[in-house]
Amino acid sequence: MQSFRSEIENPIVEKDIIDLEKKIRLYREGKLQEDKFKSLRLARGVYGQRQLGVQMVRIKLPFGRMTTQQLVRIAAISDEYSTGNLHLTTRQDIQIHFVSLDRTPELWANLEKDDITLREACGNTVRNVTASPEAGIDPEEPFDVSLYADAAFRYFLRNPICQDMGRKFKMSFSSSDSDTALSYMHDLGFIPKVKEENGQTIRGFKVMIGGGLGAQPALAHTAYEFLPEDRVIPFIEGVLRIFDRHGERNNRNKARFKYLIGKLGLEEVMRLVNEEYNALKSHSFEIDKAANFDPAMPEVKEIPDYVIEETDKYDTWLKTNVFQQKQEGYYGVYIKVLIGDISSDTARALAPLVREYAADDIRVTQGQNLLLKYVSKEALPYFFSRLDELGLAEPGFNSVADITTCPGTDTCNLGISNSMTTAKVMENVIINEYPELLFNRDIKIKISGCMNSCGQHGMANLGFHGSSLKSGKNVIPALQVLLGGGTVVNGEGRIAQKVLKVPSKRGLEVVRSVINDYQANKLENERFNEYYDRNGKDYFYQMLKPLADLSTLTPDEHIDWGHQEQFETAIGVGECAGVMIDLVATLLYESDEKLEWAAEALEDKRFADAIYYGYASFVSTAKALLLDKNVKCNTQAGIIQDFDTHFVAEGIFNFAPDFTTEVMQINKHKPGEAFAKEYLNKALLFLQEATRYRKEQRDLTAPASIKDEA
């Protein structure tokens, strides 16, 4: 551990990494409950794989941005700790696989040398804040949203209100009404707007709330048509506090924010958010405009000799992968990355080319590709020739031939059938049989390995998710086919409809059938979703029904794409089990730990943080006693009410007028020093009384032999 302590300049980060190493050791020794360790591990970007004994590490890149130095650092990390592959994700992260759990603290420490974090890349936290990769150079943007995405990332990283929520929380910032950051499928989505007031241009956002994909997708609602820019961070904070307090915690399938809105209604959720106003750390949060994300433009230099052997490919690349920025004379260049996988060697070779002929600002896109910025018109032919040498100049960015996919059964515990190889063979079909579709950005194909929609199949024009079908005594790999989803504009989206299941090996025929029918029967200038709506779901069901006929199965259809062995449905092996630990004692320990963090925050004069830690301690202590009494605990709000019912009303604990009023003082006061001290003292007293009460109860119920030994 000493090897990296001296190399990390940020003491907060150093503490994080040391804590991870300590918790791994306690887990290995059987002294840390598995579920608790899993929660801590996930919040630090370390995710269990399908394969026993190795981890997927998710590297968090706020709004998908990285420098060439960071790219080279990640490539070196993959070589040393992983397989030499970088997987670009739909949330603008980079994942590496097959990492030893025991080496993750060292890996993280090495990443931090170039200001790269793993913190809160997974787990029940605010996940990576995404944004349109074109932000800053988008000709349609009212202003650059990078500043706001970065501010949200920094404000909520390690923020106590979002460290242990019921489930994950996702946010996006789109650069324009085109909504390329997909606001309609996020818990919170922001679309930039401007308006004129008293001769001044005022910045703000249209705010979308409560969207999400998963097994049961939901479109976001409009929370505000225009929210002034200084109210964005306070609004997010209020929403997170309500999700933390009222969100489901037992049933993970119902623990996303969209279900809370469905349960309470949007109007009630907004009312609860407004009730939190007094308790917020900031009532108005000014974005630091000095944090400029405009990268330095590349120096003008002489273009070396080059040869473009495939001029047709170059012309197609120019039309599909290149666009003129809002900055005159410069172009954005998309790199289409097959299934989101780029080798560490290729990444290293790309870095010097970017440094010399583009801005040092690489963005990961939501389609698992890369965007480079500020390439001059004169440099484009040479740039293409060099990219082509690296295998990074394939045309058709964001076209039918640019398929989005999650890792599926290659590495994911939840994968049911293959998605990665399926995507490869489908792209080959498009490129070889329908080359004209390299220019078509109207149809998006997206594939997930299961129903959870990590590959975004729920919003695809033509989507697939991994599944299985029973054929006699055998189970075969299958794909659920979905049609008609996609982005519309300005926060409006469409959820794809399930049509039918087919054996996985027939997915190619689904693609051919749908495309052939569309090309043959569409009306003039009719877009794909218009064609789908005109014909209706049953039309496509009848068209594809013959492909679902299992009486014509061939032997190879019992084997999934990318495999040689007979298919069987299996969830990957989980991590090794830890020793069972007294959950009630663990919760009381956590209450004490939260009060320690509160004391640190109080000393640093972070009063809002200190108060929230105190609130979390109140809830954790109450939950411990309720569990000891076999009372089912669900939401934090429910825990607070149940404690009144089972302990205060029965006279076991005394609160005036009740426990709810005591705890909910949190949103009745502005976060100042006097209230913070008073609130934390009460939380500490409650923990002490609860610990004493539990000891008394255990002494009363303990067998006589144990009492004698004591």
Same domain as 425, residue 554: yes
Residue 579: what are its φ and ψ, rounded to 5°?
A: -70, 140
Same domain as 148, residue 48: no
Residue 322: what are its φ and ψ, rounded to 5°?
A: -130, 140
Summarize the confidence of residues 253-264 as an average pLDDT: 95
Close Cβ partners of 552 (under 8 Å, ≥ 6 residues apart) = none
**Which pLDDT tens digit goes with each residue over 473-486?**
899 999 999 999 99
Q: Which two tokens stand for residue 605?
A: 């004069």
Going by their DSSP bridges, the two strands 171-173 and 188-197 should be labelled as parallel
Same domain as 590, residue 538: no
End-to-end CA distance of the chain: 39
100 within some domain: yes
What is the model's pLDDT at position 586?
80
Question: Which range (5-19, 150-164, 452-466, 589-603) has the least confidence?
Answer: 5-19
We report the CATH number of the domain holding residue 349 as 3.30.70.3340
Q: Is the pLDDT of residue 4 over 70?
A: no
331 bridge partner residues: 324, 375
Same domain as 100, residue 74: yes
Number of domains the chain is built from: 5
Q: Is the pLDDT of residue 579 over 70?
A: no
CB atoms within 10 A of CB 583: 15
Same domain as 591, residue 517: no
We report the CATH number of the domain holding residue 694 as 1.20.120.330
575 within some domain: no
**Which pLDDT tens digit goes with each residue over 24-83?**
999 999 888 887 888 889 999 999 998 988 999 999 999 999 999 999 999 999 999 999
Q: Is the distance from CB of 308 to CB of 384 less than 8 angstroms?
A: yes
Q: Is the pLDDT of residue 706 over 70?
A: no
Q: Counting every residue, how long is the chain?
A: 710
With pLDDT > 90 as the criterion, what percentage of the chain qualifies? 85
**Which pLDDT tens digit goes with each residue over 425-467?**
999 999 999 999 999 999 999 999 999 999 999 999 999 999 9
Cα distances (angstroms) measured from residue 579 to each of 27, 36, 371, 588: 9, 12, 47, 18
441 within some domain: yes
Written as one letter, the residue type at 649 is: A
**Which pLDDT tens digit goes with each residue over 337-354?**
999 999 999 999 999 999
Give the residue from 81, 112, 143 where a domain finishes. 112
**Which pLDDT tens digit goes with each residue over 151-169?**
999 999 999 999 989 999 9
Give the residue from 327, 358, 389 where a domain finishes. 389
Summarize the confidence of residues 536-564 as an average pLDDT: 95
Which residue is it, tokens 């003039």? 524
Mean residue pLDDT across the chain: 93
We report the CATH number of the domain holding residue 63 as 3.90.480.20
Q: Is the distance from CB of 12 to CB of 117 less than 8 angstroms?
A: no
Summarize the confidence of residues 249-272 as an average pLDDT: 95
Range of the domain at 255: 130-279
What is the model's pLDDT at position 6?
47
Q: Is the pLDDT of residue 191 over 90?
A: yes
Q: What angle do CA 546, 550, 554 make, to 5 degrees?
A: 105
What is the model's pLDDT at position 7?
58
What is the model's pLDDT at position 374?
96
Dist. CA 119–CA 125, nearest whole Å: 10
Query: How does residue 2 score in pLDDT terms, banded at 50, 70 and 90?
Result: very low
571 within some domain: no
447 bridge partner residues: 405, 464
Same domain as 459, residue 364: no
Same domain as 183, residue 76: no
- Comparing CA positions, the residue from 688, 689, 710 lying closest to residue 699 is 710
Query: How does residue 291 score in pLDDT terms, banded at 50, 70 and 90?
Result: confident
Q: Is the distance from CB of 539 to CB of 476 less than 8 angstroms?
A: no
261 within some domain: yes
Same domain as 548, residue 425: yes
How many alpha carbons fall within 13 Å on the CB side of residue 456? 26
200 within some domain: yes
Same domain as 319, residue 464: no
Dist. CA 196–CA 512, nearest whole Å: 50
What is the model's pLDDT at position 576?
27
Give the residue from 53, 83, 112 where a domain finishes. 112
520 within some domain: yes
What is the model's pLDDT at position 126?
97
Cα distances (angstroms) measured from residue 658 to each of 310, 544, 639, 641, 649: 77, 62, 13, 9, 8
Q: Which residue did the predictor score with more confidence, 520 or 15?
A: 520
We report the CATH number of the domain holding residue 168 as 3.30.413.10
Same domain as 596, residue 499: no
165 within some domain: yes
Cα distances (angstroms) measured from residue 90 to each of 192, 454, 550, 560: 21, 8, 34, 24
What is the model's pLDDT at position 298?
83
Dist. CA 675–CA 608, nearest whole Å: 10
Same domain as 424, residue 350: no
Same domain as 379, residue 418: no
